[in-house]
Amino acid sequence: MTQWLSKLIDRASTFFASRKGLLPIAGILLILLNFILKLAVSGWLMETDFFLHLGAIIAIFGLMLAWAL
């Protein structure tokens, strides 16, 4: 089990090392998606700002990962 997780982390590290801006851009796109959906759609998904929170978490994680790599 730990060997599988170690290989997964190694592959993810190699993938994101050459694409350092991918996660922050994905997070920004999710934040923009939240803004657009908030204007167009109503419902519990928009009331909770799910994509806003998810985008912020992904963008911050991507910046921390890019800084570490």
43: left (phi over 0), alpha (psi -120 to 50) or beta: left
pLDDT in tens, 28-40: 999 999 999 888 8
Nearest to 50 by CA among 37, 61, 63: 37
Rounded to whole angstroms, the Cα distance separating 68 from 10 reads 14
pLDDT in tens, 48-58: 889 999 999 99
Residue 54: predicted pLDDT: 93
Q: In this model, does residue 69 exceed pLDDT 70?
A: no
Rounded to whole angstroms, the Cα distance separating 47 from 30 reads 15
pLDDT in tens, 5-14: 888 878 877 8
